[in-house]
Chains A and B, each alone.
Chain A
Amino acid sequence: MLNAKPTIKSTLKALLYLLPMLVISITFSIYPIIKSFIMSFYTKYDFFKDIVSQYGIDNFKFIFADPDFHLAVKNTLIFVVGVVPLTVIISLVIALLLNRIKWLAGFFRTVYFLPFVTSTVAIAQVWHWIYNSDYGLLNYFLGFFGVNAISWLESPKYAMLALIIMSVWKNLGFNIILFLVGLNNINERYYQAAKIDGANAWHQFTNVTIPLLSPITFLVSVNGVIGSFKVFDEIFALFNGTPGPSKSALTIVYYLYQKFYTEWKYGIAAASGVILFFMILLVTVFQLWYSKRHVHY
């Protein structure tokens, strides 16, 4: 029944179906989230005996005053703002091109998909080489345009840019595939109607492709925002276990990692996690609100 009203019985039945999945998500997602929320209020904590002797908001006070955390927030925001729009635009453009050429399309799809199935560490190794200031491919190409050799990974000025370029490249594959699926789902008849209505190629793109692709664009950008806020392994691998020269690539998750694993300040690590959680929540809620008005399902 399409318009059946939920009843207690039907809800219970649904719960029963969901039970196995619920058990798993409660154990591995919900519980840790609640636990880390609580942990962010531990101010005196014996890790080995798991005894909390004092609760308070000192952890939050600490991170709000910590210049490192400020830097981490700033870097994270720069990273998100740098990566997400570039990823969306570049993958859309490539998907549009791939959709056009029938020749070797399968081959190109595979090529673009490769980064997605390759481990970040391996990718970082390759980029290490590309970014090498003396022998790197990138500087070699830039040399053709008269650009002097740049120390991509050693200079605090360029480290974030290097990180962003690599991350965009790594994200492309999967997003191209998503966009290709979206493009294929747009019925040819809308383009035919648009041609009849006098829309040239550009107007067809803005009036048919963009609006009908908006659910995918939304998916790609929400996914990208969340993923980029949580960036960590790219940094770890690209800068050999450091947050970049002069902490130029220190992000919130990297900060959290340092506090947790190297300084054993669990409460502070948890507090920064909570801040990250709310930042992501805020942006995602904004995106959802925006999508209500601009995404056409």
Chain B
Amino acid sequence: MEVTFKDVTLSYDGKREILHHLNFTIPEGTLVSILGPSGCGKSTTLMMISGLLAPTSGQIFFGDQDVTKKDALARKVGMVFQNYALYPHLSVLDNIEFPLKMAKVSKKDRKKKAIELAKLVHIDDQLDKKPGALSGGQQQRVAIARALAKEPSLLLLDEPLSNLDARLRIEMRQEIRRIQQETGVTTIFVTHDQDEALHISDHIMVLNQGHIQQFSSAETLYDNPSNLFVAQFIGEPVINTLDITDFAGELDGQIDADILQRTQKVGIRPEALQDHNTVANTLATITTKVTRSEKYGREKNALLEFHGQRLLTTEVQADVTDGQELPLYLQRNGVYLFDKDGVRIFGGDQDA
């Protein structure tokens, strides 16, 4: 089911606005992640989609149907809550069966279905336990099974994997992706883990302080961040951020003077700082001093000093010693300029 927000605003107490004029469309059959730091309004957005929370103003559409006034019962979405909200008095099996019971599915059928789902999320050995006797990760999996039970046309997942260990997390996210692709259910997946969002989603909506920062594919987010927040939020290691005033004319002549004039911040991806020159792609050259170089696993990082600022690069090929001078070549496709409002005015595909 396609979900559309038209100018949706929300305030819990009527004073402080939590979400400001949200406009977006989640296409049918896709998996979209809502990504953002804690407290930015991800859960709140999900609650409004589910119908548990009514927007203060604006409209919500499922397909072309206006559901703004419809409550959760009428909207019939599936949802995994951030706090799981499993019924404490029901066994795992009964929890998974509950939506089916409400839909008046026969006892035999709903048991069969529930066991199938329990197997899917690897919880079939815990069926008789009460939620209180399960670990956080197990509870989360029960919650996922319960949300899937009624085969909703819209599935909302609020950080469904946050309590799993690294390996299970990857396994479950692939599982969610597989289920989503198999069933074609439109899925909205809330997370604050960019890696998770990048791996699982068709599109990612980056949210910060109640504003949509950017809504696009993972690749576009990384290659064409629309503002400084997105550039800093997406990417590991984090993008290097410098003030334009930290440069002593290294960029002059390479970029329109008019753009440089408006620039306030410069973002440089760690992999766009190379110690070897690829002429075609090189935007500028800077001279830095190596502070420290480290190697973990196959990662090799070097911390550098540039006009008193710290830089991090992952692209030093030569063996370097601490304290030595190192000329670095700024790669065109990893340098972004942002104006005083944080909007990107240079870099990305348009300037590649």
Q: How far is the CA of A241 from the CA of B98 in the complex (A)?
A: 56
Interface 1/0s, chain B 67-88, versus A by CB < 8 A? 0000111001111010101111
**B76→A198 contact, CB < 8 A:** yes
B134 close to A (CB within 8 Å): no
Q: Which residues of A, 251-297, contact B by the 8 Å Cβ criterion?
A: 296
Q: Is A223 an interface residue (CB 8 A)?
A: no
- Determine whether the beta carbon of B83 is less than 8 Å from that of A189: yes
A194-B95 Cα distance, complex, nearest whole Å: 10
Judging by beta carbons under 8 Å apart, are B87 and A198 in contact?
A: no
Q: In the assembled complex, which residues on chain B have CB atoms less than 8 Å from the CB atom of A212?
A: 88-89
Residues of B with C-beta under 8 A to A196: 50, 52, 72, 77-79, 99, 147
Task: Judge if B102 is at the interface, Cβ distance under 8 Å.
Answer: yes
Contact at B85–A189, with CB atoms within 8 Å? yes
Q: How far is the CA of A214 from the CA of B87 in the complex (A)?
A: 14
Which of chain B's residues have a CB closer than 8 A to the CB of A199? 73, 98, 102
B77 (CB) vs chain A CBs: closest residue: A196
- Asked whether any CB of chain A lies closer than 8 Å to the CB of B150, the reply is yes
Please tell me if the beta carbons of A192 and B81 are within 8 angstroms of each other in the complex. yes
Shortest distance in angstroms between B262's beta carbon and chain A's nearest beta carbon?
47
Smallest Cβ distance from A210 to chain B, in angstroms? Answer: 10
CB-CB < 8 A to A214: which residues of B? 89
Q: Is B103 an interface position by the 8 A CB rule?
A: yes
A198 partner, pick from B73, B83, B88, beta carbons under 8 A: B73
Residue B146 at the chain A interface, CB threshold 8 Å: yes
Give min CB distance, B139 to chain A, whole Å.
Answer: 12
Contacts of A207 in B (CB 8 A): 87, 98
Q: How far is the CA of A207 from the CA of B90 in the complex (A)?
A: 10
- Number of chain A interface residues as a range: 10 to 19
* A44 CB–B CB distance under 8 Å: no
Q: Which residue of B lies closest to A198 (CB)?
A: B102
CB of A294 to closest CB in B, whole Å: 10
Residue in A194, A203, A211, A212 whose Cβ sees the most chain B Cβ within 10 Å: A194
Q: Which A residues touch B86, using CB under 8 A?
A: 193
Does A192 lie within 8 Å of B87, measured CB to CB?
Answer: no
Q: A195 CA to B73 CA in the complex, in Å?
A: 5
B138 smallest CB distance to A (angstroms): 17
CB nearest neighbor in B for A296: B89
Query: A50 to chain B: closest CB distance in Å?
Result: 55
Q: Shortest CB–CB separation between residue B86 and chain A, in angstroms?
A: 8
In the complex with contacts A192-B81, A207-B98, A200-B73 CB distance below 8 A:
yes
Contact partner of A211 (CB less than 8 A), chosen from B78, B89, B147, is: B89
A190 part of interface (Cβ distance < 8 Å): yes
- At the interface, is chain B mostly helix, strand, loop or mixed? loop
Residue of B nearest to A189 (CB): B85
Q: Is A46 an interface residue (CB 8 A)?
A: no
Of A189, A190, A194, A198, which contacts B103 at CB under 8 A? A198
State the CA gap A203–B87 with chains docked (Å): 13
Once bound together, how far apart are the Cα atoms of A63 and B342, in whole Å?
Answer: 93
Partner of B81 from A189, A198, A296 at Cβ < 8 Å: A189
Contact B85 A192 (CB under 8 A): yes
Interface positions of A from 193 to 241, Cβ below 8 Å from B:
193-200, 203, 207-208, 211-212, 214
Considering the chains assembled together, what is the distance between the CA atoms of A199 and B100 in angstroms? 10
Q: Which of B52, B78, B88, B98 touches A192 (beta carbons < 8 Å)?
A: B52
Report B100 CB to chain A, min CB distance, Å: 9
Q: Is the CB of A296 within 8 A of B88?
A: yes
Contacts of B71 in A (CB 8 A): 195
The reply to whether A195 and B88 form a contact with Cβ atoms under 8 Å apart is no
Chain A residues within 8 Å of B87, by CB? 190, 193-194, 207-208, 211
| Cβ distance A236 to chain B, nearest Cβ, rounded Å | 42
Give the one of A187, A193, A200, A214 with max B CB within 10 A: A193
Establish whether residues A197 and B99, one from each chain, have CB atoms under 8 Å apart when the complex forms: yes
A192-B72 contact given A197-B146, A207-B98, CB 8 Å threshold? yes
Q: Shortest CB–CB separation between residue B61 and chain A, in angstroms?
A: 19
Q: Which residues of A contact B77 (CB under 8 A)?
A: 196
Output the nearest chain B residue to A200 by Cβ-Cβ distance: B73
- When distances are taken between beta carbons in the complex, the residues of chain A under 8 Å from B146 are 197
Q: Is the CB of A197 within 8 A of B150?
A: yes
CA gap between A189 and B87 in the complex, in Å: 10
The residues of A that contact B83 with a CB separation of less than 8 Å are 189
**Nearest B residue to A192, CB-CB:** B52
Q: A189: which B residues are within 8 A, CB to CB?
A: 81, 83, 85
The docked-state distance in angstroms from the alpha carbon of A86 to that of B52 is 35
* Distance in angstroms between the alpha carbons of A36 and B134 in the assembled complex: 50
Residues 30 to 52 of chain B near chain A (Cβ within 8 Å): 50-52
Give B90 Cβ to nearest chain A Cβ, in Å.
Answer: 8
In Å, the complex CA distance between A195 and B83 comes to 16
Q: Separation in Å of the B76 CB from the closest CB of chain A? A: 7
Q: Which residue of A lies closest to B53 (CB)?
A: A192
Question: What are 25 pairs between A and B in contact, CB < 8 Å?
Answer: A187-B85, A189-B85, A192-B52, A192-B81, A193-B79, A193-B85, A193-B87, A194-B98, A195-B51, A195-B71, A195-B72, A195-B73, A196-B50, A196-B72, A196-B77, A196-B147, A197-B150, A199-B73, A199-B98, A207-B98, A211-B87, A211-B89, A212-B88, A214-B89, A296-B89
Residues of B with Cβ closer than 8 Å to A? 50-52, 71-73, 76-79, 81, 83, 85-89, 98-99, 102-103, 146-147, 150
Cβ-closest 4 pairs across A and B = A296-B89, A198-B102, A193-B85, A197-B99
- Given A190-B87, A190-B88, A192-B52, list of 13 further CB < 8 A pairs? A187-B85, A189-B83, A193-B87, A195-B51, A195-B73, A196-B99, A196-B147, A197-B99, A197-B150, A198-B103, A211-B87, A214-B89, A296-B89
